């Protein structure tokens, strides 16, 4: 596997680490559990990192030196592709011939390297986009920066080069075909999963005690990277509208924001805290640094609802993770969230980002306990249809089919 721009060992929720990191780690672990050795190549971001790290049973992370360790933005990484590719090819050259059977690249930068490795090694290239520039640019948050043309061209090249494109959802598959002219016969849909051993129901009082929340609080949780794309500002503005309409809720309402600045959010890391102060929400909003998956599960279980107001999500892992704890999700009806959340069954979907509409939906979920209880049951049911073991099984089928087709093509 190639995950150039972010290490699978990085803490999700800050910097460039997010759902893709979870995806790479969990898929690799499940493949390794099936007896498949997985090497993950990523760019080293510190001189203190060992070149090779046995991360999990059967999973090895290779830290490739390509460019300065620190201070290199994602937009500057294309300049390091040649160096990174050279080091990946050199690492393979030290192995017996035919050491790798498949290259699976994640994000377009990795796909550029994967295409070269595929040609040199004579193995299929499986690629997962995770996010796409054309999709992001069609749904930009106010004030966000459009993805550059260089990325769009790079993505088009990877789509053309890949033997198989793995899409998270049917919608993403259609976007690959319609926006990038992908060959429909080379697109496969494989849903990401959730660790149902980690993300599971907890007694609410116990979960709240563990994360320091009052037992009788009304808790609306945001978890994810703090950047315009994820729209945490929409949630804060909605909470301000709600409290203006229902000041009686202020004494009990708590809005934890779990995560750190990322992407264009790094340009103004304090902007969300400043917005909270401007809206008079300092007594309601709690900013929590990124946490490990086990603790994130407790935060989800402690919440009355988890808000996912993103302008776009290729899948939306936090939504399925929240549902696995039995917590309903209030999400924007965009991208993969329309697959993850069943409207009216495991949560509510909104086709708007207007704070008034979000305030109304939050109020409805907080005050209507029978509705919340019904959605909680539906959330558990919905989450059970997503599991990393199933993701690994279907991904392995993709690998095997890609190998068979390559062998047939060269025979």
Q: Could you tell me if 225 and 266 are in contact, meaning their C-beta atoms sit under 8 angstroms apart? A: no
Task: Evaluate if residue 240 carries a pLDDT over 90.
Answer: yes
pLDDT of residue 407: 87
Task: Tell me the H-state helices in 51-169.
Answer: 81-93, 108-121, 133-138, 149-161
pLDDT above 70 (res 23) = yes
Known binding positions for Mg(2+) = 303, 327
Nearby residues of 32 by Cβ (< 8 Å), 6 or more positions away? 38, 56, 57, 58, 59
Which letter does DSSP use for residue 147 in this model? P
DSSP secondary-structure letter at 274? H
Find where tokens 């086990």 sit.
294
Q: Which residues are annotated as a binding site?
A: 5, 11-12, 16-21, 74, 107, 131, 151, 225, 230, 291, 303, 313, 321, 327
% of the chain at pLDDT higher than 90: 84
- Convert the pLDDT of each residue in 28-39 to its tens digit: 999 999 999 999
Confidence of residue 402 (pLDDT cuts 50, 70, 90): very high
Which pLDDT belongs to residue 12?
A: 67
312-334 confidence digits (pLDDT tens): 999 999 999 999 999 999 999 99
What's the rounded Cα separation, in Å, for the pair 366 and 290? 25
Mean pLDDT of 36-44: 96
Give the pLDDT confidence score for residue 268 in this predicted structure: 41
The residues, ordered by sequence, that sit 6+ positions from 327 with a Cβ below 8 Å of its Cβ are: 221, 300, 301, 303, 304, 305, 306, 376, 379
Torsion angle (degrees, nearest 10) of CA 77, 337, 138, 135: 40
Is the pLDDT reported for residue 307 higher than 70? Answer: yes
pLDDT at 264: 46
Find the radius of gyration of the CA atoms of the chain. 21
Q: First-to-last CA distance in the chain?
A: 26
What confidence tens digit (pLDDT) does each residue in 77-123 have?
Answer: 888 999 999 999 999 999 998 999 999 999 999 999 999 999 999 99
| pLDDT per residue as tens digits for the range 354-391 | 999 999 999 999 999 999 999 999 999 999 999 999 99
Binding residues for 1D-myo-inositol 3-phosphate: 5, 16-21, 74, 107, 131, 151
Residue set of the binding site for UDP-N-acetyl-alpha-D-glucosamine = 11-12, 19, 225, 230, 291, 313, 321
Residue with tokens 């304090």: 270
CA distances to 234, 239, 249, 289, 366 from 218, rounded to whole Å, are 19, 12, 8, 21, 7
Q: Give the separation between CA 193 and CA 322, rounded to whole angstroms.
A: 12
Q: What is the mean pLDDT of residues 248-262?
A: 92
Name the average pLDDT for the chain. 93
Task: List pLDDT tens digits, range 118-163.
Answer: 999 999 999 999 999 999 999 887 778 899 999 999 999 999 999 9
Q: In what order do the strands lie in the sheet with 305-308?
A: 285-288, 253-258, 218-223, 305-308, 329-332, 347-350
Given a cut of 90, whether residue 255 has pLDDT beyond it is yes
Average pLDDT over residues 248-266: 82
């Amino acid at each position: 596997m190639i995950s150039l721009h972010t290490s699978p060992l990085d803490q999700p929720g800050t910097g460039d680490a997010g759902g893709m990191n979870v995806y790479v780690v969990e898929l690799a672990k499940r493949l390794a559990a099936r007896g498949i050795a997985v090497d993950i190549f990523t760019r080293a971001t510190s001189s203190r990192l060992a070149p090779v790290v046995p991360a999990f049973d059967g999973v090895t992370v290779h830290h490739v030196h390509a460019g300065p360790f620190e201070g290199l933005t994602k937009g500057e990484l294309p300049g390091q592709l040649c160096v990174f590719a050279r080091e990946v090819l050199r690492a393979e050259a030290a192995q017996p011939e035919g050491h790798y059977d498949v290259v699976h690249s994640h994000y377009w930068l990795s796909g550029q390297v994967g295409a070269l490795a595929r040609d040199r090694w004579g193995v299929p290239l499986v690629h997962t986009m995770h996010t796409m520039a054309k999709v992001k640019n069609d749904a930009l948050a106010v004030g966000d920066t459009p993805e550059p043309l260089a990325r769009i061209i790079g993505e088009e090249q990877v789509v053309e080069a890949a033997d198989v494109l793995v899409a998270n959802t049917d919608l993403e598959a259609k976007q690959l075909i319609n926006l990038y002219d992908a060959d429909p016969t080379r697109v496969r849909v494989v849903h990401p999963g959730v660790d149902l051993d980690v993300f599971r129901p907890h007694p609410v009082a116990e979960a709240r005690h563990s994360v320091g929340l009052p037992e009788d609080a009304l808790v609306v949780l945001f978890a994810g990277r703090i950047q315009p794309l994820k729209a945490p500002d929409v949630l804060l503005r909605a909470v301000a509208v709600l409290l203006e309409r229902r000041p009686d809720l202020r004494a009990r309402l708590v809005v934890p924001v779990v995560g750190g600045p990322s992407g264009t959010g790094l340009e103004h890391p304090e902007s969300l805290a400043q917005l909270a102060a401007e809206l008079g929400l300092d007594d309601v909003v709690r900013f929590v640094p990124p946490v490990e998956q086990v603790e994130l599960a407790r935060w989800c279980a402690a919440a009355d609802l988890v808000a996912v107001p993103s302008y776009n999500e290729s899948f939306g892992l936090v939504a399925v993770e929240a549902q696995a704890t039995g917590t309903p999700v209030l999400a924007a009806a965009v991208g993969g969230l329309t697959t993850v959340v069943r409207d009216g069954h495991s949560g509510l979907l909104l086709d708007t980002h207007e704070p008034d509409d979000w305030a109304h939906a939050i109020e409805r979920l907080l005050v209507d306990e029978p509705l919340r209880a019904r959605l909680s049951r539906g959330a558990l049911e919905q989450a059970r249809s997503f599991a990393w073991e199933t993701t690994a099984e279907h991904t392995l089928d993709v690998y095997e089919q890609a190998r068979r087709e390559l062998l047939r093509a060269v025979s």
